[in-house]
Amino acid sequence: MKRPRPALIAALASIALLQSSCALLRGREPDREVVIDLSTTRAEAVRRTIATFREQGYKIRESLTSGANPETEPFRHRDDADAVFRAAITGSGQASRVVFSGTYRRRQLGGLMHGDERPVRNSDDPVERELWARLTNLGVMLRDTR
């Protein structure tokens, strides 16, 4: 039986180290949700969330779940995309959590066509970055609403 050569072992160790360092350089997945914890009842969190959407100029889509999971009507972001923001509200007693998220579709051919639906993320893409700023602004406004 042959013994492994030290050079072979060193080469394999270097490859393993290189792969793990490349994984670290890629970074983590961009954020897709804005989470706000409130020290209020779930019913009050629903009221405040809907009020925050309306104060920021968004129209709420009416549905059977629009109370616990309000969703905006699709809105145009500049002339680049059509987007929808959502809030998932959970809670019990005197604590609640509101999770804001959103999706968008890029407009193509002057709005005659749309691309695939994508989540709003905290990324380097200019459209996503602007939509993310609008989404985080909802969180800031909700936190400051009484």
DSSP string, 118-144: EE--SSSSHHHHHHHHHHHHHHHHHHH
**Gap between the Cα atoms of 105 and 101, Å rounded:** 14
* Contact by Cβ (8 Å): 120, 103: yes
- The reported pTM is 0.75
- For the stretch 13-55, pLDDT in tens is 555 444 444 444 445 566 899 999 999 999 999 999 999 999 9
Dihedral sign for Cα atoms in the order 15, 17, 18, 23 = positive
CATH topology of domain 31-144: Alpha-D-Glucose-1,6-Bisphosphate; Chain A, domain 4 (3.30.530)
**Gap between the Cα atoms of 131 and 34, Å rounded:** 12
Burial annotation 80-108 (CB, 10 A radius, 16+ → b, else e): ebbbbbbbbbebeeeebebbbbbbbbebe
- For the stretch 55-93, pLDDT in tens is 999 999 987 666 789 999 999 888 889 999 999 999 988
Given a cut of 80, is residue 107 above it in pLDDT?
A: yes
In what helix (H) or strand (E) does residue 54 lie, and over which residues does it extend? helix 42-55
